[in-house]
Structure 1
Amino acid sequence: MTYTPVHANPLAGNPLETRGDVEKALLDLFNPLLPAFSEGGARVSLSATAAHFDQAAADLEGFARPLWGLPPYAAGGGDFPHWPLYAKGLANGTDPEHPEYWGKVTDRDQRMVELAALGFALRLIPQHLWDPLDERARRNVATYLLEARPHQFADNNWKFFRVMIDLGLERIGIDFDRTLTEQYLQELEAFYLEDGWYRDGNVPRVDHYIPFAMHFYGLIYAALAATDEGRKHRFREWARLFAPNIRHWFADDGGALVFGRSMTYRFACAGFWAALAFADEEALPWGEVKGYYLRHLRWWAQYPITDRSGVLTVGFGYANLLMSENYNSAGSPYWAFKAFLPLALPPTHPFWTAEEAPAPVISETSSQPQPGMVMMHTPGNVIALSSGQENLQMRFGSEKYAKFVYSSRYAFSVESDERNFEGAALDGMLAFSEDGRHFRVRETNEEARIAGTVLYARWRPWSDVEVETWLLPANPWHVRVHRIRTPRPLSTAEGGFAIPRADAYRKLERIEERNGAALVVGAGDFSGIADLGSSIERRGVALKAPPNTNLLHPKTFVPQLRGEIPSGETVLMTAAVALTDRFDAAAIWKDIPPAPAIDELDALMSRDSRRVGAIAWRMAP
């Protein structure tokens, strides 16, 4: 007999093929929240875990975030019986004399994030949230929204929150200062790069916030704003440019590239496809848009993403506070309800009537100069070689933005102990240690360039240690070249992809460790890393990574190469691969790509490269 743990996931068993299936998913995910609503309806408190902001804001988050999905459902004709609870909660939460008052909004306040959902809901379904209120409650709601507007919003996608608030105020007939809205819209447009890409504020950060925030809100604005035709046209045009690029972030099985912050928002990654439908913007044929959308929802049905009561947990593939952000409260994951935006459309809309197109077979490599990525597809996976991004403010910012490679199937790992060099996961990273205990990895780049499908970066783990890194696709492999200049000897470790490790008392993996290579063949995947002729010898290690470090798999193996470099100049050349068991691991392991010539890489960058868009805007030409 085999013991299988039971996991609750309201999406499990739902075929997620039709509009009715998506409606059922929305309600099945929302209903477990009902017992957590406070008596006055304004607070939804889900656990004792804390974010950096106060509990009132966290409870507002639990209240408001489902409103990205419930109002579209109602606008599309869906019967939601709990609008009286929401109307009561809205009245009480904005009443300074009520014990469930949400508190005053200040600069860069988490409440601003949630008020965007309230503004959107008031714009879409005022008959359920505004019309039932008495005059005093209406004054309180209007005053709360109006008093929030002049405060300083964070200098990134948050600027759209004022825009969303204003859509609601306009719909319920409340006057406001439109110059504030215009100011933020201009600043949001200034974040635009090219080819449909924005940056998320004045930082080298181009992540999932571009599709599920910048484009998401821009398309809502394009669909709902009463005027401003020129800007609405630009938002639509940029979304049309973006769609052929962002499709490369989705694997053929529906998984999205695991990269960057806020991955606990999970199927919010379907938000871009959802917003295209909502705005009636056929950036790709409707059958293709529908395919990307539904495959992504179905992908999530296989993972234990809720607790036993059906409440979404903080985490990604499973409950995991280690990978969370400081701003993740227990209600944070419900930004995932952005995926339900198409429920506002009637069943007759071509998004719903189109036949879902199958996943395309993409054999070509996609060069993406704005995020600084080169995308490769293999069955059940999409891989991104990455250079040019950073997030120095974010917890685990190096792991979330500065690895050499990211994947939809193998996700990425965060480190659980920065004082354990020998046990560090280091998947997709090169680490250096002076003392064998502490270690440093790439955090930021002094320079990042792209030439065709080759990426280059110059970075420093210490101020006196310079590393130049080239990344080259060789599908299904990828190649890394590092030229290191250091005034002192250092220990190094370089990791391949993390693959699931069997949770069993019997050894189920086949492991190969030798000088210059390490290979792990697991139950469903294999991962290998090989030295291509570095100027030092490195030993192969199949590391059992610390538990709960990988975002998707709680236990993993990471093949690594470890060695010692002397003072002076050292060149490391590495190839890494990970594939499903649909491939012949032995044959692929014998077909390791050749080492490139470093002088040819130098010449390529001098002759044909351009700066990565994520950092080019802040650097002199």
Structure 2
Amino acid sequence: MTPAAAGSLWDTVHPFAKTRIEDRESVQHALVALLEPLAQHTSPNGALIRVPGATAVRFDDTASLIEGYARPLWGLAPFLAGGGEYEGAKRWIDGLKAGTDPESPEFWQLAKDSDQRMVEQCPIGYTLAVAPQFWQSLSQKQKTNVEQYLASCNGRNMPDTNWLWFRVFANLGLKANEGNFSQDQLDRDIEHLNTFYRGDGWSNDGPANIHQMDYYSSSFAIQFLQLLYAKLAGKDDPARAEEFRNRAKAFALDFIHYFDETGRALTFGRSLIYRFGVISFWGALAYADVDLPEPLTWGIVKGIFLRHMRWWQTQRDIFGPSGCLTIGYSYPNMYMAESYNSPGSPYWCMLAFICLAVPADHPFWTSKEEPYPAEKLPVTKPLKHPGHIVVRSGGHTFLLSSGQMCGYPMKAMLAKYGKLAYSSAFAYSVPPGSYTLEQFALDSALGLSEDGGEIWKTRAYSDSRLEEPEKGKYMLVSTWRPFSDVTVTTWLLPPDVESTPNWHLRIHKIETSRALQTADGSFAIKSTAEGTKRPLGAFDSKTCEGTSPIIIGNYDAAVPEGKATGGTGAFVSSVKAGAVGIAALEANGDRVAIQVLADPNSNLVESRTVIPTLRGDIAAGQTKWYVTAVFARPSGEGIEPKTYLDGWEKKPVIPAWLKMAMLSPF
């Protein structure tokens, strides 16, 4: 099955998008549509799959090709375990034999310290545990080969992260088939992984000296694999299985806030090339026989899963010409990729298909799809462990964030963890270059420059805390130091949902011993007109599209028509995307409002974006307060474009406690 043209090249629609995903059978069809294009890229003996793309990664090429083989197993294995039949499964069975055979030209080679092969041993181990046709097809010699290959991870050094779960499953797969495995290694790894646990269902992706709780703490690894362990090892290890189920129940009541009514997920953190892999937690709940906590029902869980998958069916540019997934999010994009993202890496998204191992008579499948339970959930919820305040207001779900950062350097790390807000409707941007605001793409970020605007520094590691200045009202406070003699304290306040539901506040106190330029950006938004596909012009109330002030273009923002006072602010309205804006609320402020036309391909969802931005200057030895109001109202079903800017003229009120703080001596 390959992408079929409907009249012309321009009408090509991938089979993944052709079936409306609404039940178990349609999810099976979606899976097969993703597996089929891989056949043409599979090696003669099946052990290596070269997904199109010649990009290099930090590990060797063979390990990259093993990714192409192993990661689709996250979908194929549950499909087979749930009673599905797929003729192409033989390719993967043959590949297991060849890949683990030292005499084969396609031998994978044994794992060494911190070897990428250990990651791919996880789906192989899971497959052996749930799809008996794999192990049963092996001769005794081949079983020995598989044992030696998977056992090669034991005793090896591994990153002190979610990776330890991968070794657990390598041993679990052998244990399920009475092969040679290490129970001692398995137990020691789980005990160490338990030291990552922080409470209320949340686990850190690593030890206490880092603060990183992204999708690896949920669907990509930790929560997901805890639930698979509870299912597979529950009889032998009932206490751990019960603990993991209880963690999942607590976590579910937080994690539901990372999805919105339309099915979109918050874009936050690394490895978002795994796309719909973020949804796997919900299928794993059903797979592990978890009793849902109120107010969740299986109809609600089913709805979250189905709507998310249907949203991805509308993202037509996630596939390359051969029908395989590409590196990127909504379109091919190397700027957002990590150093470990090979062409085969995106297939970790197949985690989403764990639900196919759930029996057809489970209420996950038999329940009627229910809408997002907005009326049963708080509009604003503080999450102390990840350092977030999640908000569902103004037509989208977003989180205010402080304190998180990846524990090791990676590309665009500050954009993936250090921004001030992350939205389900307005995806974050990464810097495609390191020169001027256009390349830094500072959406939802405060940037500071000491060289006239060439290089910009944003929030990285910060001291942060969650505070409750008034009962039931929360804010995040962070202190960060972009330079040795500059201190920035930032307060993030969610909207007043009754009076100004489309606005949130960010307050910065900047103390500096050097002269600085500042840039405070709103969410990024599509910068082309829906009708003409050309850049947006001045705002037109008739078409409900355009910008104020106008977009001047790169490198000539000094043109008068391209700026407004900070108090007036800047906004953009797009028929397709909605509206975003930003305004300065500080009294006697000297900031100006401009439109920053971000370099193309910086944003995860829209390839061309503009960022309404406040620009300011601070002299050496000054302390300045900035009070920034950020506006956002996304498009949506039943929302008229003429209403996108409703509420723009009604700015939020500065809280009384903040006014007092700004008047106090420094």
Q: What is the TM-score with the length of structure 2 in the denominator?
A: 0.87
Measure the CA separation in 2 of the matches of 1:427 and 1:365: 22
More divergent stretch after superposition (141-150 vs 233-242): 141-150
Equivalence for 2:460: 443
Paired letter, 2:565: N
Matches within 5 A, 1:87-106: 87-106=93-112
1:164 aligns with 2:164: no
Matches within 5 A, 1:114-129: 114-126=120-132, 128-129=133-134
Q: What value does the CA root-mean-square deviation take over the aligned residues?
A: 1.8
Which residue among 589, 593, 604 is the counterpart of 2:652? 593
> How many residues end up aligned between the 2 structures?
600
Deviation at 1:76, TM superposition (A): 1.2
Equivalence for 1:617: none
Equivalence for 1:181: 186
Matches within 5 A, 1:24-423: 24-46=29-51, 47-126=53-132, 128-202=133-207, 203-212=210-219, 213-225=221-233, 226-283=235-292, 284-303=296-315, 304-361=317-374, 364-378=379-393, 381-391=396-406, 392-421=408-437
Q: Deviations over 1:498-533 (max 9, x none)?
A: 111226236464211211111111123111000011
More divergent stretch after superposition (84-93 vs 27-36): 84-93
Equivalence for 2:478: 457
CA contact (8 A) 2:380 2:391 kept: yes
CA contact (8 A) 1:423 1:543 kept: no
More divergent stretch after superposition (146-155 vs 546-555): 146-155
1:467 aligns with 2:488: yes
Measure the CA separation in 2 of the matches of 1:168 and 1:112: 13
Equivalence for 1:566: 619
Equivalence for 2:610: 557
Deviation at 1:380, TM superposition (A): 5.5
Measure the CA separation in 2 of the matches of 1:137 and 1:217: 27
Equivalence for 1:608: none
Measure the CA separation in 1 of the matches of 2:519 and 2:415: 15
Q: Deviations over 1:530-588 (max 9, x none)?
A: 00115641111112110000011100111000011123210001001121242624431
Equivalence for 2:441: 425
Q: Deviations over 1:59-80 (max 9, x none)?
A: 1001001111111111111111
Measure the CA separation in 2 of the matches of 1:406 and 1:197: 19
Measure the CA separation in 2 of the matches of 1:484 and 1:552: 32
Deviation at 1:476, TM superposition (A): 2.0
More divergent stretch after superposition (330-339 vs 284-293): 284-293
Q: What is the TM-score with the length of structure 1 in the denominator?
A: 0.93
Q: Structure 1 residues 220, 422: closer, same or farther in 2, change over 3 A?
A: closer
CA contact (8 A) 2:461 2:480 kept: yes
Measure the CA separation in 2 of the matches of 1:330 and 1:557: 29
Deviation at 1:598, TM superposition (A): 5.5
Measure the CA separation in 1 of the matches of 2:370 and 2:214: 26
Equivalence for 1:480: 506
1:512 aligns with 2:548: yes
Q: Structure 1 residues 208, 28: closer, same or farther in 2, change over 3 A?
A: same
Measure the CA separation in 2 of the matches of 1:168 and 1:422: 49
Paired letter, 2:74: W
Paired letter, 2:571: L
Measure the CA separation in 2 of the matches of 1:282 and 1:305: 35
Paired letter, 2:280: G
Measure the CA separation in 1 of the matches of 2:403 and 2:632: 23
Paired letter, 2:487: E
Measure the CA separation in 2 of the matches of 1:67 and 1:422: 41
Q: Structure 1 residues 423, 147: closer, same or farther in 2, change over 3 A?
A: closer
Q: Structure 1 residues 423, 173: closer, same or farther in 2, change over 3 A?
A: closer
Paired letter, 2:195: A
Q: Structure 1 residues 596, 173: closer, same or farther in 2, change over 3 A?
A: same
Measure the CA separation in 1 of the matches of 2:54 and 2:9: 29
Q: Structure 1 residues 275, 15: closer, same or farther in 2, change over 3 A?
A: same
Paired letter, 2:608: K
More divergent stretch after superposition (246-255 vs 537-546): 537-546
Deviation at 1:419, TM superposition (A): 2.1
Measure the CA separation in 1 of the matches of 2:196 and 2:261: 30
Equivalence for 1:616: none
CA contact (8 A) 2:466 2:474 kept: no
Q: Structure 1 residues 423, 43: closer, same or farther in 2, change over 3 A?
A: closer
CA contact (8 A) 1:116 1:164 kept: yes
User: What residue ranges of structure 2 are gaps of 5+ in the alignment?
Assistant: 1-7, 496-500, 538-544, 550-563
Measure the CA separation in 2 of the matches of 1:40 and 1:422: 48
Deviation at 1:601, TM superposition (A): 8.4
Deviation at 1:11, TM superposition (A): 2.8
Q: Structure 1 residues 580, 276: closer, same or farther in 2, change over 3 A?
A: same
Equivalence for 2:555: none
Equivalence for 2:554: none
Q: Structure 1 residues 279, 380: closer, same or farther in 2, change over 3 A?
A: farther
**Identity value in percent:** 40
